[in-house]
Amino acid sequence: MTMAKQLGFYLDQNYCTGCKACQIACKDKNDLPVGVTWRRVVEYTGGAWTVDDNAGTFSPHVFTYYTSVSCNHCDNPLCVEVCPTEAMTKGADGVVTVDADKCIGCRYCEWACPYSAPQFNAESGVVTKCDFCADYLAEGKDPACVAACPVRVLKFGEIAELRARYGAAADIEPLPDPSITRPNLVITPHRNAEMVGSGTGHIANPEEI
Protein backbone atom coordinates (compact mmCIF):
# COMPACT_ATOMS: atom_id res chain seq x y z
CA MET A 1 0.00 0.00 0.00
CA THR A 2 1.38 3.39 -0.87
CA MET A 3 0.50 6.33 1.30
CA ALA A 4 -0.06 9.77 -0.13
CA LYS A 5 3.01 11.90 0.37
CA GLN A 6 2.82 14.17 3.39
CA LEU A 7 5.61 16.18 4.96
CA GLY A 8 5.67 16.97 8.65
CA PHE A 9 7.85 18.32 11.44
CA TYR A 10 9.27 16.59 14.50
CA LEU A 11 10.42 18.14 17.77
CA ASP A 12 12.00 16.61 20.85
CA GLN A 13 10.90 18.88 23.69
CA ASN A 14 13.33 17.32 26.16
CA TYR A 15 16.37 18.88 24.52
CA CYS A 16 14.91 22.02 22.98
CA THR A 17 16.63 24.87 24.81
CA GLY A 18 14.26 27.59 23.56
CA CYS A 19 17.14 29.37 21.77
CA LYS A 20 14.89 30.44 18.86
CA ALA A 21 17.55 29.85 16.21
CA CYS A 22 14.79 28.15 14.12
CA GLN A 23 12.55 31.19 14.46
CA ILE A 24 15.28 33.61 13.41
CA ALA A 25 16.51 31.38 10.56
CA CYS A 26 12.92 31.28 9.22
CA LYS A 27 12.51 35.02 9.59
CA ASP A 28 15.82 35.67 7.84
CA LYS A 29 15.33 33.21 5.01
CA ASN A 30 11.83 34.50 4.24
CA ASP A 31 12.58 38.20 4.88
CA LEU A 32 9.63 38.51 7.26
CA PRO A 33 8.76 41.97 8.58
CA VAL A 34 8.26 42.86 12.24
CA GLY A 35 5.08 41.18 13.51
CA VAL A 36 5.20 38.29 11.04
CA THR A 37 6.89 35.20 12.50
CA TRP A 38 6.04 31.96 10.76
CA ARG A 39 7.92 29.81 13.25
CA ARG A 40 7.59 30.68 16.93
CA VAL A 41 8.97 29.09 20.08
CA VAL A 42 6.33 28.88 22.79
CA GLU A 43 7.46 28.81 26.41
CA TYR A 44 5.04 26.89 28.61
CA THR A 45 5.51 27.33 32.34
CA GLY A 46 3.79 25.92 35.39
CA GLY A 47 4.29 24.29 38.72
CA ALA A 48 2.87 23.42 42.09
CA TRP A 49 3.85 22.50 45.65
CA THR A 50 3.87 19.04 47.16
CA VAL A 51 3.16 18.97 50.89
CA ASP A 52 4.87 16.32 53.00
CA ASP A 53 2.79 16.19 56.19
CA ASN A 54 5.22 13.92 58.05
CA ALA A 55 8.25 16.07 57.44
CA GLY A 56 6.21 19.29 57.52
CA THR A 57 7.81 20.49 54.29
CA PHE A 58 6.73 21.96 51.00
CA SER A 59 8.57 20.85 47.85
CA PRO A 60 8.28 22.94 44.72
CA HIS A 61 7.78 21.40 41.28
CA VAL A 62 8.28 24.01 38.65
CA PHE A 63 8.70 23.39 34.96
CA THR A 64 9.21 25.15 31.68
CA TYR A 65 9.42 23.56 28.31
CA TYR A 66 9.58 24.89 24.78
CA THR A 67 7.60 24.03 21.68
CA SER A 68 8.78 25.25 18.30
CA VAL A 69 5.71 25.62 16.05
CA SER A 70 5.18 26.80 12.50
CA CYS A 71 2.52 25.49 10.13
CA ASN A 72 1.72 21.82 10.66
CA HIS A 73 0.32 21.37 7.14
CA CYS A 74 -2.71 19.69 8.71
CA ASP A 75 -4.74 16.85 7.22
CA ASN A 76 -7.83 18.88 8.06
CA PRO A 77 -6.59 22.41 7.44
CA LEU A 78 -9.18 24.87 8.73
CA CYS A 79 -7.41 27.69 6.89
CA VAL A 80 -8.12 25.93 3.57
CA GLU A 81 -11.68 25.14 4.61
CA VAL A 82 -12.64 28.71 5.52
CA CYS A 83 -10.69 30.55 2.78
CA PRO A 84 -13.24 32.34 0.57
CA THR A 85 -10.90 32.70 -2.42
CA GLU A 86 -9.29 29.26 -2.70
CA ALA A 87 -5.96 31.06 -2.30
CA MET A 88 -5.15 28.60 0.49
CA THR A 89 -4.59 25.09 -0.86
CA LYS A 90 -3.03 21.79 0.16
CA GLY A 91 -0.59 20.52 -2.45
CA ALA A 92 0.39 17.03 -3.60
CA ASP A 93 3.19 16.92 -1.01
CA GLY A 94 0.65 17.83 1.68
CA VAL A 95 2.14 21.30 2.09
CA VAL A 96 -0.43 24.04 2.67
CA THR A 97 0.41 27.21 0.74
CA VAL A 98 -1.25 30.54 0.07
CA ASP A 99 -1.40 32.04 -3.42
CA ALA A 100 -0.72 35.77 -3.01
CA ASP A 101 -2.30 36.44 -6.42
CA LYS A 102 -5.66 35.12 -5.19
CA CYS A 103 -5.62 36.23 -1.53
CA ILE A 104 -7.78 39.24 -0.62
CA GLY A 105 -6.25 39.66 2.83
CA CYS A 106 -9.50 39.06 4.71
CA ARG A 107 -7.58 37.27 7.48
CA TYR A 108 -10.33 34.70 8.08
CA CYS A 109 -7.67 31.94 8.13
CA GLU A 110 -5.90 33.78 10.97
CA TRP A 111 -9.03 33.47 13.10
CA ALA A 112 -9.54 29.80 12.28
CA CYS A 113 -6.01 28.36 12.66
CA PRO A 114 -5.29 27.20 16.24
CA TYR A 115 -1.53 27.33 15.56
CA SER A 116 -1.48 30.96 14.33
CA ALA A 117 0.27 29.71 11.21
CA PRO A 118 -1.26 32.01 8.56
CA GLN A 119 -0.12 35.57 9.25
CA PHE A 120 -1.13 38.80 7.58
CA ASN A 121 1.67 40.85 6.06
CA ALA A 122 0.56 44.50 6.17
CA GLU A 123 3.19 45.49 3.58
CA SER A 124 1.89 43.15 0.88
CA GLY A 125 -1.75 43.20 2.07
CA VAL A 126 -2.07 39.42 1.92
CA VAL A 127 -1.73 36.46 4.25
CA THR A 128 1.61 34.66 4.30
CA LYS A 129 2.72 31.38 5.84
CA CYS A 130 5.31 28.62 6.03
CA ASP A 131 5.72 26.88 2.67
CA PHE A 132 8.12 24.27 4.07
CA CYS A 133 10.96 26.13 2.29
CA ALA A 134 9.80 24.61 -0.99
CA ASP A 135 12.74 26.19 -2.84
CA TYR A 136 15.26 24.64 -0.44
CA LEU A 137 13.55 21.24 -0.66
CA ALA A 138 13.75 21.43 -4.47
CA GLU A 139 17.52 21.97 -4.16
CA GLY A 140 17.77 19.02 -1.79
CA LYS A 141 18.42 21.24 1.22
CA ASP A 142 16.71 21.11 4.62
CA PRO A 143 14.17 23.78 5.58
CA ALA A 144 15.91 26.81 7.14
CA CYS A 145 14.49 26.15 10.64
CA VAL A 146 15.61 22.51 10.68
CA ALA A 147 19.08 23.37 9.36
CA ALA A 148 19.50 26.04 12.04
CA CYS A 149 18.66 23.93 15.11
CA PRO A 150 21.90 23.78 17.14
CA VAL A 151 20.77 20.80 19.23
CA ARG A 152 19.32 18.90 16.28
CA VAL A 153 15.92 18.32 17.90
CA LEU A 154 13.87 19.88 15.10
CA LYS A 155 13.53 17.55 12.14
CA PHE A 156 11.30 17.07 9.14
CA GLY A 157 10.33 14.25 6.82
CA GLU A 158 7.57 12.00 5.63
CA ILE A 159 5.06 12.04 8.46
CA ALA A 160 4.56 8.25 8.24
CA GLU A 161 8.30 7.74 8.78
CA LEU A 162 8.45 10.29 11.60
CA ARG A 163 5.54 8.60 13.36
CA ALA A 164 7.04 5.13 12.88
CA ARG A 165 10.24 6.32 14.52
CA TYR A 166 9.04 8.77 17.19
CA GLY A 167 5.38 7.97 17.90
CA ALA A 168 2.35 10.09 17.11
CA ALA A 169 2.05 12.52 20.02
CA ALA A 170 0.98 16.09 19.25
CA ASP A 171 -1.50 16.48 22.12
CA ILE A 172 0.78 18.45 24.41
CA GLU A 173 -0.05 21.75 26.10
CA PRO A 174 -0.15 24.52 25.06
CA LEU A 175 -0.91 23.12 21.60
CA PRO A 176 -4.57 22.71 20.64
CA ASP A 177 -6.31 19.34 20.61
CA PRO A 178 -4.89 17.63 17.47
CA SER A 179 -8.30 16.15 16.65
CA ILE A 180 -9.37 19.64 15.49
CA THR A 181 -7.05 19.92 12.48
CA ARG A 182 -5.01 16.67 12.53
CA PRO A 183 -1.59 18.36 12.34
CA ASN A 184 1.40 16.68 10.71
CA LEU A 185 3.52 17.21 13.78
CA VAL A 186 5.24 14.68 16.00
CA ILE A 187 6.49 15.59 19.45
CA THR A 188 8.59 13.68 21.92
CA PRO A 189 7.04 15.15 25.05
CA HIS A 190 9.13 16.89 27.67
CA ARG A 191 9.43 14.83 30.86
CA ASN A 192 7.16 17.39 32.58
CA ALA A 193 4.85 17.86 29.59
CA GLU A 194 1.16 18.25 30.32
CA MET A 195 -1.46 16.69 28.10
CA VAL A 196 -3.94 18.82 26.13
CA GLY A 197 -6.91 19.71 28.31
CA SER A 198 -5.18 18.99 31.62
CA GLY A 199 -2.64 21.80 31.59
CA THR A 200 -1.89 23.68 34.78
CA GLY A 201 0.64 26.06 33.28
CA HIS A 202 0.48 29.07 31.03
CA ILE A 203 2.26 30.52 28.01
CA ALA A 204 5.03 32.65 29.48
CA ASN A 205 5.93 34.57 26.32
CA PRO A 206 2.58 35.52 24.72
CA GLU A 207 4.09 38.70 23.27
CA GLU A 208 6.43 36.56 21.16
CA ILE A 209 3.80 34.24 19.71
Q: Residues interacting with another protein, by CB under 8 A?
A: 40, 42, 67, 69, 78, 81-87, 101-108, 111-116, 120-122, 124-127, 174-177, 180, 202-203, 209
3-state DSSP call for residue 158?
strand
State the nearest-atom distance from the C-beta of 55 to another protein, in Å. Answer: 35
Residue closer to another protein by CB (options 91, 176) is 176
Query: In the bound complex, what is the minimum distance in angstroms from residue 170's beta carbon to another protein?
Result: 11
Task: Specify burial of residue 117 (Cβ count, 10 A radius: 0-12, 13-18, 19+).
Answer: buried
Minimum distance from residue 104 beta carbon to another protein (Å)? 5
- Residue 98 contacts residue 85 (beta carbons within 8 Å): no
Least distance from C-beta 193 to another protein, angstroms?
Answer: 15
Beta carbon nearer to another protein, 78 or 153: 78
> Least distance from C-beta 28 to another protein, angstroms?
22
Q: Between residues 134 and 180, which has the closer beta carbon with respect to another protein? A: 180
Judged by beta carbon, residue 137 or residue 209, the one nearer another protein is: 209
Rg, the chain, Cα only: 18
The one-letter amino acid at 29: K
**Residue 36 to residue 14: CA distance in whole angstroms:** 27
Neighbours of 107 (CB within 10 A): 14
Rounded Cα distance, 77 and 113, in Å: 8
Q: Report the alpha-carbon distance of residue 102 to residue 117 in Å, rounded.
A: 18
User: Would you say 131 or 173 has its CB closer to another protein?
Assistant: 173
